[in-house]
Amino acid sequence: MSLTGFCVMVMGVSGSGKTAVGKALAHALHGQFLDADDLHPSTNIDKMSAGIPLTDEDRLPWLLAVSEAVNTTFVAEKPVVLACSALKKAYRTLLREHITAPLKIIYLKSSFEQVHDRLEKRSGHFMPANLLASQFEALEEPDLAEPAITAVDANLPIDQVIKDSLAALN
């Protein structure tokens, strides 16, 4: 399957599966994959590594860098799949305003307990499990007023998550 002319943002809290789903979705769509985590400045990574939640002020330059990366990567013939937490509606609005391609959003929804279990088992990432509560506190779940939003159960097998995501995008 190949859909063109837009960016798909896979959003959710840390540990919800954004990167794994984003990579698999990009492969299924024959598109490009970008991980917003790769664009955090070192100050943000240092802060999170120390167990300190990011503020809106910390996130603004990062979100602008994410927008720029999508715009640089985007070509009309290939979709861009972006893994990005985009926890607050204001962050998604900013991204929608700065990304030149139409933006469709897949929200990976999960419970605190399920994601916490994943984070406890994950290694090699700067986001410690003790920051998960701050992510859920900041999370403003997308609602029907936001365009192209789909909630997908992040706890399903990845093949089913991709199938559900592709169905929502068509």
Q: Supply the pLDDT for residue 1.
A: 44
Selection from 93, 133, 97, 98 nearest residue 113 by Cα: 133
Q: Supply the pLDDT for residue 15.
A: 85
DSSP string, 64-110: HHHHHHHHHH-BTTB-EEEE----SHHHHHHHHHH-SS-EEEEEEE-
End-to-end CA distance of the chain: 10
Q: Supply the pLDDT for residue 122.
A: 58
Q: Supply the pLDDT for residue 89.
A: 95
Q: Supply the pLDDT for residue 105.
A: 94
Q: Supply the pLDDT for residue 2.
A: 46
Q: Supply the pLDDT for residue 75.
A: 77
Q: Is 59 helix (H, G, I), strand (E, B) or coil?
A: helix
Q: Supply the pLDDT for residue 81.
A: 96
Question: Dihedrals φ, ψ of 104, to 5°?
Answer: -115, 145
All residue ranges of the chain with pLDDT < 70 are 1-4, 120-130
Q: Supply the pLDDT for residue 123.
A: 59
